[in-house]
Amino acid sequence: MGLLLRDVQLGDVDAYVRMRCDPVMMAELGGPLPREGMPTKVRQDVESVAAGTAWVKMIVPDGTGTVAGTVALWSHEEDGATISEIGWMVLPEHQGRGYAKWAVRTVLEQARDADAWGLVHAFPGVTNAASNGICRSVGFTLLGERYVTFADRVLRTNHWMIDPRKL
Ligand SMILES: CC(C)(COP(=O)(O)OP(=O)(O)OC[C@H]1O[C@@H](n2cnc3c(N)ncnc32)[C@H](O)[C@@H]1OP(=O)(O)O)[C@@H](O)C(=O)NCCC(=O)NCCS
């Protein structure tokens, strides 16, 4: 596919701003986040990767150094249990080329090979056609709908789950 995944770096603030502070990119995620929070968010993500508590990967077309998007795995408490969650974004000029699907599949294969993360959940908005398409075509199972809180906003989502060992 001519793509690679690399860990997030401190220099990725501009890419975060383009992904998380843009009304179109964030239309299905409750709207844009404030730019001033991005340096802290990048630093926290770099620290989480260093500590091994999250995988935050940037999608980079081979030989370019340009960030096309991101895919991340992290865990959190839900109803007293710890669950693993995956999320992804691809910038507009790189969309529609299979990048997100490739990145999601690749990081799940890495999770399987490292025996990390266990069952993986995804919560795309119910109206997010592209992300629900990715879940379906990568092989997630649809468990139902769920309201989830993302960046302090409550979103109506589809609840998908996959066992990376069955990829
Ligand atoms: C969602 C997003 C990551 C998709 O990235 P992408 O690289 O364009 O997606 P891909 O090209 O890998 O497409 C993956 C699948 O979704 C389908 N798809 C893509 N866009 C679609 C659309 N608008 N409507 C329906 N299906 C769509 C593709 O056909 C493909 O399915 P296939 O393998 O069966 O052909 C990207 O549009 C994005 O970042 N949007 C804004 C942020 C966001 O919503 N993030 C996700 C939060 S859960």
Beta-bridge partner residues of 75: 84
Distance CA 47, CA 42 (A): 9
Q: Per-residue pLDDT tens, the chain, 167 aa: give them.
A: 799 999 999 999 999 999 999 999 999 999 999 999 999 999 999 999 999 999 999 999 998 989 999 999 999 988 899 999 999 999 999 999 999 999 999 999 999 999 999 999 999 999 999 999 999 999 999 999 999 988 889 999 999 999 999 99
C-alpha atoms less than 13 angstroms from C-alpha of 25 in its C-beta half-sphere: 21
Q: Where are the beta strands (DSSP E) in the chain?
A: 3-7, 54-61, 69-78, 81-90, 120-122, 141-150, 153-162
Ligand 1 cavity residues, CB under 6 Å: 25, 28-29, 87-90, 95-101, 124, 128-131, 133-134, 137
| CA of residue 136 to ligand 1 center, whole Å | 11
| CA of residue 133 to ligand 1 center, whole Å | 6
| CA of residue 104 to ligand 1 center, whole Å | 11
Phi and psi at residue 31, to the nearest 5°: 100, 165
Domains of the chain: 3-166 (3.40.630.30)
